[in-house]
């Protein structure tokens, strides 16, 4: 069977393509409206915002043929926004009509203390006695979304999940199946769902299941690969101490090849893998073909979310050609990234936001990329350095009291008990006058979907995360926060998650094989922090 992939420019198209091809099926892209009418089966991977997605379907001439295809009850699998567009509309884009195959509108998660977007591996509980193509005891899958289909027991509601409240996370009506979660990024569990659907069978009757209690969202454990060229010009995974990645004698530390390590971490149960191209701030990223090749190869083998950062900004090449940050992000998404992460440029963008009286101009990297690919695809990577302060009242920045949550945190060189976190750029080489709270709030206002919270003081030290920093940022914004820098043992992950981090990332201890990912997860399970079970 040949699968027709509806590519309207969404960020996860490459990931869906890779997943289907890995399962042994042929895939072709929709080139024009006539391909929809001819398709044997259609997969519609959607991410981003509802309105721009419908606009893209309309302007490419796909909307009416797709409606007709669905009316004829031919095989269809929608993913994420590909599920939401089946409804009549969405609160995300009032007045924009969806495909209208299913009744009702998609709503935003209500304002609660929960971080939005919901970026989690969450339980999926079938609501129908015959849950095809899901499993009766369906393990957790990967979700990333800010809008959801309100809970209902309508006969098309196939499964529900929970994030503060229950919501519908999979639908089935005749031969039309769709999921809010991303099967292409849900590891072997997700591949199994896609394979079951691709092999096809007539769905059973829509008799309700007995009970549906989804497992709670799992906290994510992320493996990070700092990548750069060594002195011989080969791309290697490196790892610094407080951002210094060179051995004493001067060579760049080498922990191995990026693709093999990414694959190893996927097999070991990492819930996400991040690549940071750490010297990209001085390169012309679009000419960095080896890095794009790394991403392409990794995306063919790693079926959990891949984030890539480094050099996402506008620049002018040697021939005087201009490239926007969106051009760079486009190349990363086409190579298989699911999210991009912006470091140095986010600081510049935030500075401009405050200079303009807390307004964006629509043309910044954060705004351009989140408008096209959706907020959930934009991570802001923060590289803060601790600056000690004797008296927070005499400091213009947002301060914390150090040593409150982590007794090992040293007080300042002159006995200072307070600090603010200065956002640096170019891999910690330059300071800015922006503190982390200012950066987090500007990033949230401009459309970022998540924060990667590093800490230069902690990086590579193995003495735990900077807990004060995590607490401060969590209380200043509603974005999901990934704690990073300083993990040395499983207990450190627990501490970061206990003070509110939504996910915890580590590099050195995984590269040096000091602590396996599964050991971290076993420890967290024992402390009743839910984690994704690899063997589910």
SS3 56: helix
Among the listed residues 102, 259, 487, 504, the single contact to ligand 1PR using CB under 6 A? 487
- From 367, 383, 444, 466, the catalytic residue: 383
182 is catalytic: yes
d(CA 223, CA 204): 40
Answer whether 314's CB lies under 8 Å from 325's CB.
yes
Q: Which of 388, 384, 439 is nearest to 409 (CA)?
A: 388
Among the listed residues 36, 312, 337, 534, the single contact to ligand 1PR using CB under 6 A? 312
- From 53, 145, 160, 182, the catalytic residue: 182
169 is catalytic: no
Least distance between ligand 1PR and beta carbon 431 (Å): 14
Q: Is 243 in the site for ligand 1PR (CB under 6 A)?
A: yes
Question: Taking the CA of residue 236 as centre, how many other CA atoms within 13 Å lie in the half-sphere pointing to its CB?
Answer: 18
Least distance between ligand 1PR and beta carbon 337 (Å): 14
* Inter-helix orientation angle 325-335/365-373, to 10°: 40
SS3 417: coil
Of 350-409, binders to ligand 1PR (CB under 6 A) are 381, 383
Span of 103-111, 146-154, 433-441, 500-508 interacting with ligand 1PR by CB under 6 A? 500-508
Q: Is 78 in the site for ligand 1PR (CB under 6 A)?
A: no
Span of 21-29, 291-299, 305-313, 471-479 interacting with ligand 1PR by CB under 6 A? 305-313
With vertex at residue 169, the alpha carbon angle to CA 168 and CA 173, rounded to the nearest 5 degrees, is: 80
89: number of Cβ within 10 Å: 20
Q: Is 265 in the site for ligand 1PR (CB under 6 A)?
A: no
C-alpha to C-alpha distances, 506 to 226, 269, 415, 460, 488, nearest whole angstrom: 11, 13, 30, 9, 9
d(CA 83, CA 86): 6
Using the minimum distance from each CB to ligand 1PR, give the nearer residue, 46 or 486.
486
Span of 7-15, 348-356, 452-460, 473-481 interacting with ligand 1PR by CB under 6 A? 452-460
Q: Is 311 in the site for ligand 1PR (CB under 6 A)?
A: yes
With vertex at residue 503, the alpha carbon angle to CA 500 and CA 508, rounded to the nearest 5 degrees, is: 120
Among the listed residues 179, 186, 344, 438, the single contact to ligand 1PR using CB under 6 A? 344
- From 7, 184, 406, 459, the catalytic residue: 184
Of 80-139, binders to ligand 1PR (CB under 6 A) are none
Answer whether 76's CB lies under 8 Å from 69's CB.
yes
184 is catalytic: yes
Question: Taking the CA of residue 477 as centre, how many other CA atoms within 13 Å lie in the half-sphere pointing to its CB?
Answer: 27
Least distance between ligand 1PR and beta carbon 365 (Å): 9
Least distance between ligand 1PR and beta carbon 342 (Å): 5
- The first and second tokens of residue 358, run together, are 């807390």
Span of 239-247, 412-420, 471-479, 515-523 interacting with ligand 1PR by CB under 6 A? 239-247
Q: Is 259 in the site for ligand 1PR (CB under 6 A)?
A: no
Residue 198 sits at φ, ψ, to 5 deg, of -65, -35
Question: Which positions are annotated as active-site residues?
Answer: 80, 182, 184, 226, 383
């Amino acid at each position: 069977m040949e699968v027709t992939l509806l590519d309207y420019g969404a960020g996860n198209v490459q990931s869906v393509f890779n997943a289907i091809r890995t399962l042994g099926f042929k895939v072709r892209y929709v080139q024009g409206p006539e391909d929809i009418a001819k398709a044997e089966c259609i997969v519609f991977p959607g991410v981003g915002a509802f309105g721009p997605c419908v606009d893209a379907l309309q302007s490419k001439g796909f909307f009416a043929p797709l409606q007709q295809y669905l009316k004829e009850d031919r095989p269809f699998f929608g993913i994420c926004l590909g599920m939401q567009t089946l409804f009549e509309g969405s609160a995300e884009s009032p007045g924009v009509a969806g495909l209208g195959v299913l009744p009702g509108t998609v709503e935003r998660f209500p304002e609660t203390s929960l971080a939005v977007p919901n970026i989690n591996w969450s339980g999926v509980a079938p609501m129908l006695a015959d849950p095809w193509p899901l499993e009766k005891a369906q393990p957790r899958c990967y979700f990333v979304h800010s809008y959801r289909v309100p809970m209902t027991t309508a006969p098309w509601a196939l499964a529900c999940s929970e994030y503060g409240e229950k919501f519908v996370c999979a639908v089935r009506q005749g031969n039309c199946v769709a999921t809010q979660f991303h099967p292409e990024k849900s590891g072997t569990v997700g591949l199994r769902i896609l394979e079951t659907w691709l092999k096809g069978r007539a769905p059973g009757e829509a008799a309700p299941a007995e009970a549906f209690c989804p497992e709670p969202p799992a906290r994510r454990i992320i493996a990070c690969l700092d990548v750069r060229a060594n002195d011989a010009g080969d791309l290697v995974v490196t790892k610094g101490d407080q951002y210094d990645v060179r051995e004493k004698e001067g060579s760049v530390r080498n922990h191995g090849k990026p693709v093999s390590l990414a694959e190893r971490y996927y097999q070991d149960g990492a819930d996400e893998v991040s690549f940071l191209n750490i010297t990209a701030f001085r390169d012309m990223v679009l000419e960095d073909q080896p890095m794009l090749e790394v991403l392409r190869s990794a995306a063919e083998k790693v079926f959990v979310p891949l984030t890539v950062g480094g050099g996402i900004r506008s620049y002018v090449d040697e021939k005087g050609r201009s490239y926007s940050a969106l051009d760079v992000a486009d190349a990363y998404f086409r190579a298989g990234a699911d999210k991009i992460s912006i470091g140095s440029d986010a600081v510049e963008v935030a500075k401009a936001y405050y200079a303009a009286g807390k307004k964006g101009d629509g043309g910044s990297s954060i705004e351009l990329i989140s408008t096209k690919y959706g907020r959930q695809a934009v991570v802001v990577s923060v590289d803060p350095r601790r600056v000690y302060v004797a008296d927070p009242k005499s400091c213009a920045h947002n301060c914390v009291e150090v040593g409150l949550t982590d007794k090992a945190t040293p007080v300042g060189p002159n006995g200072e008990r307070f600090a603010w976190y200065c956002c640096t750029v170019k891999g910690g080489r330059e300071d800015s006058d922006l503190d982390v709270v200012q950066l987090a709030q500007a990033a949230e206002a401009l459309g970022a979907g998540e924060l990667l919270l590093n800490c230069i003081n902690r990086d590579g030290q193995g003495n735990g995360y900077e807990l004060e920093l995590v607490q401060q940022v969590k209380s200043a914004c509603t974005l999901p926060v990934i704690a990073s820098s300083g993990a040395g043992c499983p207990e450190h992950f627990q501490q970061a998650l206990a003070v509110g981090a939504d996910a915890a990332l580590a590099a050195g201890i995984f590269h040096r094989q000091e602590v396996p990912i599964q050991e971290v997860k076993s420890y967290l399970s024992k402390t009743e922090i839910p984690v994704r079970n690899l063997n589910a």
